[in-house]
């Protein structure tokens, strides 16, 4: 049984619960799709919004998440297990029971004003997408950007959402100062496969149009061929890179599929439902990439993979980058312009 418009096929109990629940077919009723699940949103006020990390294979040490959960519903999303910390399922709950943080801009402002704060690029969108559909009404990401722009604070954004075009009026001036870069994720160019993998994310052609609009506005865009799904999308590496270059991307990066914790059974179920003829082959390739397991959490290997198959993917990707002029490093974001804006009541400067 499937839920229309959603990628996950179940709402399995999270790993912290002592008991599990599972739907079964008792044979009395014909099997049919479940009713449409509407998105539910609740709000929380965070005590702080800047999250720190010390992971050695990540290029940033701080990030912000305007939302918990993601309505895009990508079946492979490595952030799904984070919903377990809310007492919710990484399955359908992750896609349908979201948490918004409307006070995030206000809390961020207070953190940036704290004595001793040292600026460094803040990453947004590395866990859940800041431009998922509910941002259109909530405008939390818009508020965060307004704060960062006022402080001249550098930011790196990752998204699949075309809604980022709404904020070009903020992003373009920041880009002129060297304060922003954007990563647009394109997993496949096949709209049919995209709708199954990422049911509420913009279609591939729409994302490439976003790359073009941002690039034309002077905003540095990195094409992210992520994740590469073996035996499903790996044959598209060269085509995706070519399309991104044509749209105006300045650089590109890639990450192989990783299936931490509850993501692995969700993805296996998705395979059996949508591509049963390739399910075993796909998972076999996944295990080749991760040392015989569904997922290898080791730093330095978790996003690159290991073995001949991983080396082949990297070699093909590197060749495509050179062919299309995307084998470059984007300039580092500036931190020297950081300055808190003047506030009412501040002492005026003498000169």
Is the confidence at residue 148, as pLDDT, over 90? yes
E strand or H helix at 142? helix 140-151
The pLDDT value given to residue 20:
63
pLDDT digits (tens, 9 = 90+) for 153-166: 999 999 999 999 99
CA distance 266 to 7: 9
Is the confidence at residue 347, as pLDDT, over 60? no
The pLDDT value given to residue 32:
54
The pLDDT value given to residue 22:
62
Nearest-5° Cα angle at 256, 298 to 213: 130
The pLDDT value given to residue 337:
98
Q: Is 40-324 CATH 3.20.20.70?
A: yes
The pLDDT value given to residue 91:
95
pLDDT digits (tens, 9 = 90+) for 249-261: 999 999 999 999 9
The pLDDT value given to residue 10:
85
* Segment 97-112 mean pLDDT: 98
Angle, in degrees to the nearest 10, between helices 263-274 and 279-289: 150
pLDDT digits (tens, 9 = 90+) for 294-319: 998 888 888 899 999 999 999 999 99
Task: Tell me what percent of the residues of the chain surpass a pLDDT of 70.
Answer: 92
Backbone angles phi, psi at 283, to 5 degrees: -65, -30
The pLDDT value given to residue 59:
85
CA distance 289 to 295: 8
Residue located via tokens 């913009």: 202
Average pLDDT, the chain: 92
Residue 6 burial class via C-beta count within 10 angstroms: exposed 0-12, middle 13-18, buried 19 and up: buried
Is the confidence at residue 17, as pLDDT, over 60? yes
pLDDT digits (tens, 9 = 90+) for 232-288: 999 999 999 999 999 999 999 999 999 999 999 999 999 999 999 999 999 999 999
Reference 171, options 130, 132, 110; nearest CA is 130
Is the confidence at residue 289, as pLDDT, over 90? yes
* Segment 12-39 mean pLDDT: 68
Range of weakest confidence among 89-98, 176-185, 330-339, 340-349 = 340-349
The pLDDT value given to residue 128:
96
Give yes or no for a contact between 286 and 307, defined as CB atoms under 8 angstroms apart.
no
pLDDT digits (tens, 9 = 90+) for 29-61: 655 555 678 999 999 999 999 999 988 888 899
Task: Tell me what percent of the residues of the chain surpass a pLDDT of 90.
Answer: 82
């Amino acid at each position: 049984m499937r839920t229309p418009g959603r990628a996950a096929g179940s709402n399995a109990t999270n790993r912290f619960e002592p008991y599990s629940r599972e739907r079964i077919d008792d044979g009395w009723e014909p099997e049919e799709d479940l009713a449409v699940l509407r998105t539910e949103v609740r709000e929380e006020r965070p005590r702080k919004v800047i999250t720190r990390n010390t992971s050695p294979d990540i290029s940033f040490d701080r990030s912000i998440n305007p939302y918990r959960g993601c309505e895009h519903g990508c079946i492979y999303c490595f952030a799904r297990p984070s919903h377990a910390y809310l007492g919710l399922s990484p399955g359908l709950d992750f896609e349908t029971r979201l948490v918004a943080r409307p006070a995030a801009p206000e809390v961020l402002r207070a953190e940036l004003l704290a004595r001793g704060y040292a600026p460094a690029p803040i990453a947004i969108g590395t866990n859940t997408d800041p431009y998922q559909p509910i941002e259109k009404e909530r405008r939390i990401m818009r508020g965060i950007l307004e704060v960062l722009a006022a402080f001249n604070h550098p930011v790196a954004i990752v998204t699949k959402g075309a809604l980022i075009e709404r904020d070009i009026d903020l992003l373009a001036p920041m880009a002129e100062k060297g304060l922003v870069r954007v990563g647009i994720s394109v997993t496949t160019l096949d709209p049919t496969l995209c709708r199954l993998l990422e049911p509420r994310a913009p279609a591939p052609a729409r994302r490439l149009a976003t790359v073009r609009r941002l690039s034309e506005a002077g905003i540095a865009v990195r094409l992210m061929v992520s994740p590469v799904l073996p035996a499903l999308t790996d044959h598209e590496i060269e085509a995706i890179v070519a399309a991104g270059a044509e749209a105006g991307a300045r650089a590109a990066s890639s990450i192989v599929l990783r299936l931490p914790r509850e993501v692995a059974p969700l993805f296996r179920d998705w395979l059996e439902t949508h591509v049963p003829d390739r399910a075993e082959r796909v998972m076999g390739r996944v295990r080749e990439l991760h040392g015989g397991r569904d997922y290898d959490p080791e730093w330095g290997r978790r996003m690159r993979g290991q073995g001949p198959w991983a080396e082949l993917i990297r070699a093909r990707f590197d060749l495509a980058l050179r062919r299309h002029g995307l084998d470059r490093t984007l300039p580092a974001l500036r931190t020297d312009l950081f300055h808190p804006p003047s506030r009412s009541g501040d002492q005026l400067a003498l000169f």
